[in-house]
Structure 1
Amino acid sequence: MKRITTLFLLILSAPIFSQTNTEEKEKSTAGVSNSIFGVQAGFLGAWAYNELKLTDKIVLKSELGLQTYTLKTKNPDKTFTFLTPEIVLEPRFYYNIQKRADKGKDVSHNSGNFISLRSSYFPDSFTVGEKIADNAFIPELHIVPTWGMKRNLSDHFNYELGAGLGYRKVFETNLKQNNNNDDVAFYLHARIGYKF
């Protein structure tokens, strides 16, 4: 009878041991969050964003915002500063999530260092601010390899820093601007964000 009772207790306790083991494995493997929605503001504009998980370390960040833009025209020789819409798609690889988790550091909401390929499109749909001549702003595409870091300040607030150097493509020529359609794009950002 003792053997049957012991066997019965072992069978009943097996799911408890396997559940504990599974929970330990889940805790030991750190990865990015499934989906994060938020807003960010920096010196040069404001953006709404989403980070969608693709793998344990890769997300696709999409942004829609208003970016400060400075335009220098040749004829007449004048500089305009205004806000223009910006649409961004940016695959990000968070390369040190697991290392931070192993050291006991906060990795929630994708808090870590990343490398990315930032693709920004500036349409000519509208501008906000200083009035510029018709057709003075031309659509542009920037493709910039970027290094950055994201850290949490609290459960909802975070900050992000990043920099990169890449390619700038102007889609049309315009006599009022520089006729060079291809150029170097330098990207630098410092932002404070709020996660919903």
Structure 2
Amino acid sequence: MKRLTLAIAICLCTFKGISQTSATTIEKSIWNVQTGLLGVYVNNEYRLSNAFALRTEVGLDAGFAAKTNDTKWGMIPTINIEPRYYYNLAKRAEKGRNTSGNAANFFTVLFKYNADWFVISSADDVITENMIAVIPKWGISRNIGKSKFNYEAGIGIGYYNYFGSDRKYYTYPENVAVDIHSRIGYRF
């Protein structure tokens, strides 16, 4: 009888633990509009499991160059895909923190494609080429109060490659990509 009671107690504790864990999951689908210092983006996060989401994003990456008497800026289209792992969602929920909109810390691998389809620029001589990047990143996503406004920040180092015919004007270290982002947005 003692063994049966112990087995039932263990099962009840296990089911209680599973139900609490499954109650704290990322949201099924989130649409977001975000902007930062260097671009504007529209993205969707789709839940793959309790802690994993697939983020797809389209936007315009911005950049600028400044010389003594001349400053140029430009924006080019970008397509990003990120599988994200939110690793502290349950811990934040246990502490009573707002986790709506997947507000938690995450690890991701950013797959980025910058296209040479068009350029919005302050100068006529801006040259772009197709570029891909694969960048492992760490980041945070948080809500601003109880509103649908949010902010996000992340950092990572990875690999990039240009797919162009003329490489003579690149002076960057070959194939090292550093990605730092800081954005504010609105969730739908």
- Equivalent of 1:152 in 132, 138, 143: 143
- 1:54 corresponds in structure 2 to 48
Matched, 1:164 2:175: no
Runs of 4+ in 1 over 4 A off after TM superposition: 179-182
Who wins on radius of gyration, i.e. which is larger?
1
Q: Deviations over 1:144-189 (max 9, x none)?
A: 1000000111331011011111111111241552288941111011
- 1:39 corresponds in structure 2 to 33
- 1:75 corresponds in structure 2 to none
Q: How many residues align structurally? A: 169
- 1:25 corresponds in structure 2 to 19
Q: Deviations over 1:127-159 (max 9, x none)?
A: 00123448x311101111000000111331011
Question: How far apart in 1 are the matches of 2:54 and 2:155?
Answer: 18
- Equivalent of 1:123 in 107, 110, 115: 115
Q: Deviations over 1:19-47 (max 9, x none)?
A: xx99x936873110000001001000110
Fraction of identical pairs, as percent: 35
Contact 1:68/1:84 (8 A) holds in 2: yes
Contact 2:72/2:121 (8 A) holds in 1: no
Q: Secondary structure at the match of 1:147?
A: strand
Counterparts in 2 of 1:82 and 1:30: CA distance versus 1, 3 Å: same
Question: How far apart in 1 are the matches of 2:137 and 2:172?
Answer: 24
Q: CA RMSD in A?
A: 2.6
**TM (normalized to structure 2)?**
0.80
Contact 2:21/2:90 (8 A) holds in 1: no
Unpaired runs of 5+ residues, structure 1, are 1-20, 73-77
Unpaired runs of 5+ residues, structure 2, are 1-14
| Residue type of the alignment partner of 2:131 | E
